[in-house]
Amino acid sequence: MKKVELIRYKNEWYQPGNSIKIFLWYFINILFFKTSIPFSSSVKVMLLRMFGAKVGHGVVIKNNVNIKFPWFLEIESYVWVGENVWIDNLTKVSIGSNVCLSQGSYLLTGGHNYKKSEFDLILDAIVLEDGVWIGAKSVVCPGVTCRSHSVLAVSSVATNDLENYMIYQGNPAKPKRSRVIT
């Protein structure tokens, strides 16, 4: 049987951006986002825009948030990003309006091909449509689209797309019931 040989791992093809921009973002992220210091959301939004993110109005970003590469990030208006959220966007993440990312939620756009001995890097975008709620400590995996007003319950893992107005729970997340908004 073949084995994983990490010495053969190559990802030179992956160039997420200018090395100076990546270096500068590393420090901005640590100083203003991955900190308990309560910098205002308007300062964080301004910094995200400076680094190429597309950000709408009324976006709230709490403390200890980690954003990998803002130039791969699109956030519409009136989005809440809770404490300890990690947006691990090695590729594009699109977040619609009125989306809530609860504390400790994790958006993961990359993984590895476990079938290859080289353990190749695999990337796939994430889309969160309008009105989505990602519960605390939940994970959205690469390539997942959370359709309009879907909910991923606390500590759940979305490995497949979530349908409109449905509540999902578990690992892997399964539909539990409809979301009825009154």
The CATH number linked to 99 is 2.160.10.10
| Cα separation, 83 vs 114, whole angstroms | 31
Is residue 80 within a helix (H) or strand (E), and if so which, with residue range? strand 80-81
Domain assignment of residue 21, yes or no: no
Domain assignment of residue 66, yes or no: yes
Domain assignment of residue 170, yes or no: yes
Domain assignment of residue 29, yes or no: no
Q: CA 3: distance to chain centroid?
A: 31
Domain assignment of residue 74, yes or no: yes
Q: Which amino acid is at 14?
A: Y
Domain count, the chain: 1
Output DSSP code: residue 162. B
pTM of the model: 0.96
Name the token pair of 46: 């301004």
pLDDT of the chain, 182 residues: tens digit per residue: 999 999 999 999 999 999 999 999 999 999 999 999 999 999 999 999 999 999 999 999 999 999 999 999 999 999 999 999 999 999 999 999 999 999 999 999 999 999 999 999 999 999 999 999 999 999 999 999 999 999 999 999 999 999 999 999 999 999 999 999 99
Task: Give the CA radius of gyration of the chain.
Answer: 17
Domain assignment of residue 24, yes or no: no
Question: Which residues constitute the domain of residue 117?
Answer: 40-178
Is residue 43 within a helix (H) or strand (E), and if so which, with residue range? helix 41-50
- The pLDDT value given to residue 138: 98
Q: Which amino acid is at 170?
A: G
Strands lying side by side in the sheet with 73-75: 54-55, 73-75, 93-95, 126-128, 145-146
Domain assignment of residue 136, yes or no: yes
- The pLDDT value given to residue 64: 98
- The pLDDT value given to residue 88: 98
